[in-house]
Structure 1
Amino acid sequence: MGGVDLSLRLLESLEAVAAEGSMTRAARTLNLTQQAVSSQIRQLERVVGTPLVDRRPTGIELTAAGEVVLKQGAALLSSAQAMVTEARLAATGRPDPLRIAFKAQSTAHFMPAVEAALRQQAPELELRPIASHTLPDEIDALLDGRADAAFLWLPIGDDPRFTIHPLLQEDRWVALPPGHPLESRTTLRIADLADVPVIGPRDGMPPAVVDFWFIDPRPDGTRAVFGPQARTPEECLHLVAAGHGCWIAPASTVTYFAHPRLTWLPLLDAEPNVLALIWPKHNANPLLHLLLTQTRQALNPLPPATT
């Protein structure tokens, strides 16, 4: 490093602060005290020789230098984790299968590329998929040990037991029944759904999660109309096709589930869905970081090198 004394823990703290926009929330994510995180950021600023964060009333933002350190630091963290993973695999031989809870419609567009990359980097690693339908299914699989990690949609409620790595954002779309007055539109806004029942799972879901998916309350303060409950995408699609209401889902759902009777329209003013990879904080399996690295590379591939 040419004399630069740089600890990876300092980069991890900056990454957490950037993701959370708060020292306190970053400390919770890292299982540290707020004072420890602040101290590590100051130490990193001394190493670099310039301020890396701006503390503002609305939260913490990175300076231009902080953005550079964040970007380059992510590559260093990834390389370090890959080194540790490969060393442990070389020492222990074939690892146990990595069990991943997932929803097929949410991951089909990137998981084949992730698995192909993992086979190249760790040919002895086996990914074992565990299909799930709802957030409680995925959380239960993680907590009872049936799954090592899960690809799921945020939010998951206020649950400090997990390490959360956001991966991508998707716009929200609305499935409408045949003959619905809105089906001739090309786009929708939340206000257009004022009297339309919304279909989806609610039982066993944290209230904040239900509020997010059903957009309740609406921006004008009115309450959403709850339609019939359904656990699986297929059940949601059936209920919509039968005229019981609409279903609000991520954009990837539209391309995965074709239905001859439904109209799908983008919901322009809704907060986007965020897909994340999560695992229990007590899970120290280094293969999880390899999975995270390969997933991020599949979603954001590096540009080709110029000659």
Structure 2
Amino acid sequence: MDLSLRLLQALEAVAAEGSMTRAAGVLNLTQQAVSGQIRQLERVIGTPLVERRSTGIELTPAGEVVRKQGSALLSAARVMVTEARLTATGRPEPVRVVFKAQSTAHFMPAVEAAMRLEAPEAEIRPIAAHTLPDELDALVEGRADAAFLWLPIGDDPRFTVHPLLDEERWVALPPGHPLESRTELRIADLAGVPVVGPRDGMPRAVVDFWFIDPRPDGSRAVLGPQARTPEECLHLVAAGHGCWIAPASTVTYFAHPRLTWLPLVDAEPNTLALIWPRHSANPMLHLLLDQTRRTLLPAATN
């Protein structure tokens, strides 16, 4: 039986992305190559593993079995490679990971604990950052090995990008704002409301995404004062300078007695990813990715 790990990786990517095209982007392959790998895997297994629906590509019941068991095989293979390299090279260097506390507090400690079980010599060294330029500079300058950050990062071919989870967007409103009595918001409700947040040094496409500019009706967002840190954003909102649009995890991490947080129900979600330089040879990075995905899987399936 010719069951290559790359075929299992293709099925895993298609299942996660719900699309051959998006899976191809994750795997750095063409759409035709991914489709060919799925067909080859179906020939090996002897039954269809995917089916196309109006909402995208979904796994058949047999496909779910292969994905689940294949994920365990891929995990075991990655651990095998990591342990073999560590045996050959000795104690590994610490893995320096850039992070934002509000984005990773709900899973990063569990990931570190899981990594220590798989590789007792492993050490995660966290490096706090506030903005996308800070995160990318740390990777480019060699001060960090990987980063947990929010997409998009712009068209930057220097990095390998591994999406991890989606979060809905929420809006922080100042005290006494006319919208604070609502239970949810839509983008149209924010017409004319200034949006605070970081902009300097960020690609225009990234700024447009975070500020939702232009709006679906073609109008332009009103840009409020700039702020680099979450604390600065919260202060500006509390002082009545505008609203702040942030991922849902920010709401639970930052409690503020004067602000109202409401979900922005029709906005494209935020996607958190783990990225690292494309040509990195650090053997611990795939173990970090694997343990992060395993840690996040229960939350994604609830």
TM-score scaled by structure 1? 0.88
Q: 1:38 to 1:296 in 2, by over 3 A?
A: closer
Deviations 1:90-127 (Å, cap 9, x if unpaired)?
33221001000100110111111111222222221111
1:295: how far off? Answer: 1.5
**Which deviates further from its counterpart, 57-66 or 258-267?**
57-66
- Distance in 2, Cα, partners of 1:63 & 1:170: 26
Equivalent runs, 1:5-16 vs 2, <5 Å: 5-16=2-13
Q: 1:101 to 1:46 in 2, by over 3 A?
A: same
Alignment partner of 1:288 out of 285, 288, 292: 285
Q: 1:109 to 1:231 in 2, by over 3 A?
A: same
User: Any conservation in 2 of the 1:81–1:286 contact (CA below 8 Å)?
Assistant: no
Count of residue pairs the alignment pairs up: 299
The one-letter amino acid paired with 1:211 is: D
> Which position in structure 2 is the counterpart of 1:140?
137
- Distance in 1, Cα, partners of 2:53 & 2:295: 34
1:203: how far off? Answer: 2.0
Does residue 149 (structure 1) correspond to residue 146 (structure 2)? The answer is yes
Alignment partner of 2:88 out of 59, 66, 91: 91
**Which deviates further from its counterpart, 198-207 or 50-59?**
50-59
The one-letter amino acid paired with 1:82 is: V
The one-letter amino acid paired with 2:252 is: T
1:159: how far off? Answer: 2.6
- Distance in 2, Cα, partners of 1:24 & 1:161: 21
> Which position in structure 1 is the counterpart of 2:41?
44
> Which position in structure 2 is the counterpart of 1:30?
27
**Which deviates further from its counterpart, 172-181 or 160-169?**
160-169
1:25: how far off? Answer: 5.0
Runs of 5+ consecutive residues of structure 2 not aligned to the other structure: none
1:14: how far off? Answer: 2.7
- Give SS of 1:37's match: helix
Does residue 242 (structure 1) correspond to residue 248 (structure 2)? The answer is no
Q: 1:34 to 1:175 in 2, by over 3 A?
A: closer
The one-letter amino acid paired with 2:237 is: V
> Which position in structure 1 is the counterpart of 2:183?
186
The one-letter amino acid paired with 1:298 is: T
> Which position in structure 2 is the counterpart of 1:201?
198
> Which position in structure 1 is the counterpart of 2:261?
264
Q: 1:39 to 1:267 in 2, by over 3 A?
A: closer
- Give SS of 1:300's match: helix
> Which position in structure 2 is the counterpart of 1:305?
none
User: Any conservation in 1 of the 2:99–2:126 contact (CA below 8 Å)?
Assistant: yes
1:70: how far off? Answer: 2.6
Q: 1:23 to 1:250 in 2, by over 3 A?
A: closer
Q: 1:181 to 1:73 in 2, by over 3 A?
A: same
- Distance in 2, Cα, partners of 1:244 & 1:13: 47
> Which position in structure 1 is the counterpart of 2:114?
117
- Distance in 2, Cα, partners of 1:27 & 1:171: 25
Q: 1:122 to 1:275 in 2, by over 3 A?
A: same
- Give SS of 2:97's match: strand
TM-score scaled by structure 2? 0.89
User: Any conservation in 1 of the 2:160–2:276 contact (CA below 8 Å)?
Assistant: yes
User: Any conservation in 2 of the 1:187–1:268 contact (CA below 8 Å)?
Assistant: yes
1:68: how far off? Answer: 3.4
- Distance in 2, Cα, partners of 1:301 & 1:54: 24
1:226: how far off? Answer: 1.0
Instruction: Report the identity percentage.
Output: 84
- Distance in 1, Cα, partners of 2:68 & 2:219: 42
